[in-house]
């Protein structure tokens, strides 16, 4: 049983060097906190809305209806969700209040990672959430015209422009690394590619596309 409170806060944050935006967040960061569990685990999540408008949370990791148990709540309210993870993967959660793309583009998204059974150990495990920045004025909110035109200023990982150029995710040659990759959008697809690296195992959309050992033996 995973019990967790997510608190909606509308805060000003840096999204690139020298660039500050008014974000709508879960727990003050965009993306919000990563939740982690296994198949069969139950999550009991309490959403507390400390924002200035209606917000909500829609967990793709479960099968709750967004119009009822995951409905929008007014400022000052809270709501508790309970779901059991039955399928492995990295699942989006996001605010589903309208206009939904503006809530997501303002920072209201995050990941629930449900491990498939029998995951081998790795030296490093990372989560990369891709999203877009549609920059408003300094300290201001998302630019809706850019959002409607699907013309982001930046496509970023984990909410901050080019951050891993400056502080790379590290691993030593020969180490195995696992990365959860989630595209929160709201618009752009992802084409993740590790420069100088090749994946030997890929679990995507509910099943292994590549699996070290298994895939090779089925090919030869």
- Which residues of the shown chain bind its own copies in the complex (CB under 8 A)? 58, 60, 63-66, 70, 86-88, 96, 116-118, 189, 191, 193, 195-200, 202, 205-210, 215, 218-220
Residue 11 vs 79, nearer CB to its own copies: 79
Residue 140 vs 213, nearer CB to its own copies: 213
Find the shortest distance in angstroms from Cβ 94 to its own copies. 11
What are the C-alpha distances in Å from 34 to residues 94, 110, 111, 181? 12, 6, 5, 12
Find the shortest distance in angstroms from Cβ 13 to its own copies. 26
Residue 164 vs 208, nearer CB to its own copies: 208
Residues 63-66: contacts with CB under 8 Å, at least 24 apart? 66/96
Find the shortest distance in angstroms from Cβ 219 to its own copies. 6
Residue 120 vs 205, nearer CB to its own copies: 205
Find the shortest distance in angstroms from Cβ 56 to its own copies. 12
Q: What is the rounded CA–CA span in Å between residue 80 and residue 202?
A: 34
What are the C-alpha distances in Å from 39 to residues 17, 97, 117, 126? 39, 28, 8, 19
Find the shortest distance in angstroms from Cβ 62 to its own copies. 8
Residue 121 vs 198, nearer CB to its own copies: 198
Per-residue b or e along 30-64, where b marks 16 or more CB atoms closer than 10 Å to that residue's CB? bbbebbbbeeebebebebbbebeebbbbbbbbbeb
- DSSP per-residue letters across 40-63: T-EEEEEEEE-SSS-B--EETTS-
Find the shortest distance in angstroms from Cβ 58 to its own copies. 7
Find the shortest distance in angstroms from Cβ 211 to its own copies. 9
Residue 49 vs 94, nearer CB to its own copies: 94
* Beta-strand pair 202-204/89-94: unpaired
Residue 14 vs 149, nearer CB to its own copies: 149
**Contacting residues for 42 by C-beta, under 8 A, at least 6 apart:** 1, 2, 82, 83, 84, 85
């Amino acid at each position: 049983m995973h019990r967790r409170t997510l608190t909606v806060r509308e805060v000003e944050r840096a999204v690139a060097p020298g660039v500050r935006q008014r974000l709508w967040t879960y727990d003050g960061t965009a993306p919000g906190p990563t939740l982690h569990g296994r198949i069969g685990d139950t999550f009991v999540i309490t959403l507390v809305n400390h924002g200035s408008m209606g917000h909500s949370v829609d967990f793709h990791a479960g099968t709750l209806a967004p119009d009822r148990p995951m409905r929008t709540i007014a400022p000052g309210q809270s709501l508790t969700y309970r779901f059991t993870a039955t399928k492995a993967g990295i699942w989006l959660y996001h605010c589903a209040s309208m206009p939904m793309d503006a809530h997501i583009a303002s920072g209201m998204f995050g990941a629930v990672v449900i491990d498939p059974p029998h995951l081998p150990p790795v030296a490093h495990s990372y989560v990369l959430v891709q999203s877009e920045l549609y920059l408003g004025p300094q300290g201001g909110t998302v630019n809706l015209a850019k959002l409607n035109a699907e013309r982001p200023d930046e496509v970023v990982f984990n909410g901050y422009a080019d951050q891993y150029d400056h502080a790379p995710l590290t691993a030593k040659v020969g180490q195995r690394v696992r990365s959860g990759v989630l595209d929160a959008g709201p618009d752009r697809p992802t084409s993740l590619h590790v420069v100088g690296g090749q994946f030997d195992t890929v679990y995507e959309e509910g099943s292994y596309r590549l699996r070290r050992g298994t895939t090779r033996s089925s090919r030869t």
